[in-house]
Amino acid sequence: MSLNFLHPALLGLLALAGLPLLVHLLSRARPPAYRFSNIEFLRRVLRSTARIRRPKDWLLLALRSLALFALAAAFSWPFLISNSASLPGEKSTVILLVDRTASMAAREGAGSRFDSACAQATRFLEQSKPDNANLIWIAAEPAAAFPEPGPNLEFLTDKLKQAHPLPEAGALTAAFDLALRQLAKVGGHRELIIISDFQASAWRDFAPSFPTNIVVRSQRVATSSPPNVAVSRLIPQPTEPVVGQDLTLLTRVRNFSADALRTQLTLDADGARQSQTIELPAWGEAECAFVIRPATPGPMAISAAIEPDGFPADDARHCVVQIRESLRLALTTAADSPDAKILGKLAKSLSWLEIANDPAIAKRPDFQFISAWSGEAPAELRKSALSGTTLIVRPAAACPLAAIRSLLQVPADPADGPLAIIASPAGWAAIPEESHPANQLFRSGDFGNPFAGTFRERLRLPAQLAALPGIRPIASFVDGVPALLECPTEGASILLWNLPLDPAKTDWPTQGAFLPAIAEIFLRTRPRGTAEPAYSLPGNSLSWSSSDPAHAGAVTLLGPTSEPLPLTETTTADGTRWHSKTPAIPGIYRWQFSGQPIAFTAVNFPDSESDLRPLEATPAFGKLDASNDSLVRQAALAQGLPLWPWLALAALLFLILESLVHSRSR
């Protein structure tokens, strides 16, 4: 900010300020002489009144000087102007980067942060009147009002008046890139004005770089952190349950306020409702679980919601759970092998298990039984487990123990040799490990020993394998040799199977506990899933595809409030694909065919927008113009703020004061 004068030639008038002092000095220098009877007496009087009188003299002198100074300065027409203001004749271009993300909907005082941002942007445009301007919204998909900055400021102010915040997170980098690209194309004085709440969770680590010749100003519209409670997670376990299986829905609620709260959490699963009261500590979170048992296969839309609060956008969370009719078991063994025959019979007995003969389905089964594994490609197998398929591996006799260790990712032992099959006519008995969930059903003893029977052949696995970290034994032979081990991975488990299924080598399949034992092993070792199912973010376009030719031209999309939404339909190599034309908002969207829902899409509020705390200070972005002054004031300074009215007023005030002091002294 600098001080300039419209009529600097008149600055010489400032010398007038010294006139009273000159008069004062001259008048004191040659006063007329007056012979008086007693000066000492007069001096005594002078001393007694000096404390009162002298300041008055000096005050009068100062007031007169100040009045003349202010008057003279007013004539020189001074004005304050920002150092970053455009030069006379230089074209100015301003791009307003206004935050439109979900957190801007937070109310502070009478209006929302977004209202305040739009009002400030409008006032700035009206005050600064740039030659060209543009408005870019910070949103999930940043958009500009004009393809390039234009002179139509009224259009921009209309846009600002009609806009409202969107329930989505902002793509900051994309928005800044768009703004800088537009500014790079223009010359003259260029300004980038950022108006945002500068939500800490979104802006803390954002550090854009700007060309040096662009003036960057930022204006924070958030002054406080409104209290907010959000449903932050909704995780189904398992992620794809089968019909009749218990589905646990873990719901996490976060409290973004400094006060402990109590709220009601309600779960809506296809119209069935459950509620729980939860206590939330200050700045903390609480988790609660709902258990439902789906009765029909197909997609199930589930929503969890709390009581509405001051920031309702994140009060609900949604997910779509695919209820499976059956689990798929792929067999990597000869179709006529004893293992395949036994497992085939098993699948026929369990309604929820099917042997995946279809190669397409077999590419991603729930279980894969690998019989007589030779130890090849353990890494590939592990990758398959990580991708979510539970592997049941029965090594062959020639399989090296190192390959098994590699598959299970346990430390290698130099003493390990190749496996060998040991047979015994008397056989061995297997004992379940009670602590394993697969044996939980049999813990009471009502269903007998899940591994009842005699096993007359087995692999020579080292007993210490079961004791290694990361390995959970399910069953062991009486002499300690592992019978069945589970090695959980981040995806699904790997089961090391050392139990023969061939009736010639065991009578276990003929035992009554065989069927429930296998069923429990399958159900308890399938991946449970700790992540939320996929969902869409607000602001994006929704899409769905189908390979069924009957669906073409007959699919509709209903929004969260069951309103039909416009779609665009495209034909692809795999079938037909539909896109919603309007940006999504949080809620459950239903894709319908012939009036019946065929798919759901969950759209969830972005987590990052729930924490409404702004940055402690307005970010400067490494530029100097991030001042605390309001944008309007900055705009006024950029135009030049005339000071003459203030100086004239000051001169008048000084003269009034002078006359008051003078009259009192008389």
Partner 1 sequence: MHRFLDPADIRRLKNYEFGAKAMVEGYLAGRHRSHQRGSSIEFHEFRQYAPGDDLARVDWRVFARNDKLFLRTFEQETNLECHIFLDCSASMGFPENSPRLSKLEYASFFAAALAWWVISKNDRVSLTLFDHGIRKFLPPASTRQHLHDLLATLETNRPGSNTSITETLARAQPLLKRKGTLVILSDFFTEPAALFRALNPYIHRGFRIHLFHLLDPSELNLDDRGLSRFIDMETNDQLTVHPHALRDAWQQELLNHTRALRALASARRADYALTSTADPYFSLFDRLRD
Angle, to 10 degrees, between the axis of helix 39-75 and the axis of helix 644-665? 160
Instruction: Decide if residue 616 touches partner 1 (CB under 8 A).
Output: no
Query: SS3 string of 252-274?
Result: EEEEECCCCEEEEEEEEECCEEE
| For partner 1, the closer CB: 28 or 185 | 28
* DSSP string across 340-385: HHHHHHHHHH-TTEEE--SHHHHTS-SEEEEEEE-S--HHHHHHHH
The DSSP call for residue 102 is G
Please report how close the Cβ of residue 69 comes to partner 1 at its closest, in angstroms: 24
| For partner 1, the closer CB: 31 or 89 | 31
| For partner 1, the closer CB: 57 or 126 | 57
What is the Cα–Cα distance from 585 to 107, expressed in whole angstroms?
19
Q: Could you tell me if 168 and 539 are in contact, meaning their C-beta atoms sit under 8 angstroms apart?
A: yes
Structural tokens at position 468: 């290694």
| For partner 1, the closer CB: 38 or 571 | 38
Stretch that binds partner 1, among 28-36, 344-352, 453-461, 618-626 (CB under 8 A): 28-36
Question: Among 9, 32, 359, 426, which residue interacts with partner 1 (rule: CB under 8 A)?
Answer: 32
Question: Among 8, 15, 22, 41, which residue interacts with partner 1 (rule: CB under 8 A)?
Answer: 41
Please report how close the Cβ of residue 54 comes to partner 1 at its closest, in angstroms: 10
Q: What are phi and psi of 463, to 5 degrees?
A: -65, -30
Is 296 exposed, middle or buried, given 0-12, 13-18 or 19+ CB atoms closer than 10 A? exposed
Instruction: Decide if residue 23 touches partner 1 (CB under 8 A).
Output: no
Place of tokens 């997609």: 299
Please report how close the Cβ of residue 15 comes to partner 1 at its closest, in angstroms: 24
| For partner 1, the closer CB: 46 or 652 | 46
Instruction: Decide if residue 26 touches partner 1 (CB under 8 A).
Output: no
Instruction: Decide if residue 22 touches partner 1 (CB under 8 A).
Output: no
Please report how close the Cβ of residue 662 comes to partner 1 at its closest, in angstroms: 11
Q: Which residues make beta-bridge pairs with 237? A: 248
Question: Among 3, 35, 51, 563, which residue interacts with partner 1 (rule: CB under 8 A)?
Answer: 35
Please report how close the Cβ of residue 56 comes to partner 1 at its closest, in angstroms: 8
| For partner 1, the closer CB: 26 or 360 | 26
Place of tokens 């200070």: 617
Q: Could you tell me if 655 and 254 are in contact, meaning their C-beta atoms sit under 8 angstroms apart?
A: no
What is the Cα–Cα distance from 461 to 157, expressed in whole angstroms?
77
Stretch that binds partner 1, among 35-43, 247-255, 433-441, 553-561 (CB under 8 A): 35-43
Q: What are phi and psi of 642, to 5 degrees?
A: -70, 140
Please report how close the Cβ of residue 46 comes to partner 1 at its closest, in angstroms: 6
Strand order in the sheet with 78-81: 2-5, 78-81, 641-642
| For partner 1, the closer CB: 6 or 23 | 23
Q: Is the sign of the CA dihedral 397, 401, 403, 406 positive or negative?
A: positive
Q: Could you tell me if 135 and 96 are in contact, meaning their C-beta atoms sit under 8 angstroms apart?
A: yes
Stretch that binds partner 1, among 24-32, 186-194, 264-272, 419-427 (CB under 8 A): 24-32
Please report how close the Cβ of residue 658 comes to partner 1 at its closest, in angstroms: 16
Mode of pairing for the β-strands spanning 78-81 and 111-112: unpaired
Instruction: Decide if residue 27 touches partner 1 (CB under 8 A).
Output: yes
Helices (H), 106-165: 113-128, 153-162
The count of chain residues that interact with partner 1, using the rule CB under 8 A, is 23
What is the Cα–Cα distance from 461 to 480, expressed in whole angstroms?
10
What is the Cα–Cα distance from 393 to 459, expressed in whole angstroms?
12
Q: Could you tell me if 145 and 132 are in contact, meaning their C-beta atoms sit under 8 angstroms apart?
A: no
Mode of pairing for the β-strands spanning 430-432 and 472-477: antiparallel
Instruction: Decide if residue 660 touches partner 1 (CB under 8 A).
Output: no
Stretch that binds partner 1, among 31-39, 70-78, 288-296, 596-604 (CB under 8 A): 31-39
Instruction: Decide if residue 596 touches partner 1 (CB under 8 A).
Output: no
DSSP H or E run through 634:
helix 631-639
What is the Cα–Cα distance from 67 to 7, expressed in whole angstroms?
19
Instruction: Decide if residue 33 touches partner 1 (CB under 8 A).
Output: yes
Please report how close the Cβ of residue 13 comes to partner 1 at its closest, in angstroms: 28
What is the Cα–Cα distance from 538 to 556, expressed in whole angstroms?
19
Q: Could you tell me if 368 and 391 are in contact, meaning their C-beta atoms sit under 8 angstroms apart?
A: yes
Question: Among 9, 36, 562, 645, which residue interacts with partner 1 (rule: CB under 8 A)?
Answer: 36
Instruction: Decide if residue 25 touches partner 1 (CB under 8 A).
Output: no
Please report how close the Cβ of residue 45 comes to partner 1 at its closest, in angstroms: 5
Question: Among 3, 34, 562, 572, which residue interacts with partner 1 (rule: CB under 8 A)?
Answer: 34
Where in 42-71 is the site for partner 1 (CB under 8 A)? Answer: 42-46, 48-49, 53
Instruction: Decide if residue 37 touches partner 1 (CB under 8 A).
Output: yes
| For partner 1, the closer CB: 36 or 434 | 36
Please report how close the Cβ of residue 665 comes to partner 1 at its closest, in angstroms: 7
What is the Cα–Cα distance from 56 to 661, expressed in whole angstroms?
7
Mode of pairing for the β-strands spanning 92-99 and 132-138: parallel
| For partner 1, the closer CB: 185 or 664 | 664
Where in 300-359 is the site for partner 1 (CB under 8 A)? Answer: none
Please report how close the Cβ of residue 623 comes to partner 1 at its closest, in angstroms: 58
Question: Among 3, 9, 38, 562, which residue interacts with partner 1 (rule: CB under 8 A)?
Answer: 38
Alpha carbon distance, N-terminus to C-terminus of the chain: 44
Instruction: Decide if residue 420 touches partner 1 (CB under 8 A).
Output: no
| For partner 1, the closer CB: 43 or 164 | 43
Instruction: Decide if residue 663 touches partner 1 (CB under 8 A).
Output: no
Query: How many CA atoms lie less than 13 Å away from 297 in the CB half-sphere?
Result: 6
Stretch that binds partner 1, among 25-33, 122-130, 333-341, 509-517 (CB under 8 A): 25-33
Please report how close the Cβ of residue 39 comes to partner 1 at its closest, in angstroms: 4
* Residues that bind partner 1 in the complex, under the rule CB under 8 A: 27-28, 31-46, 48-49, 53, 665-666
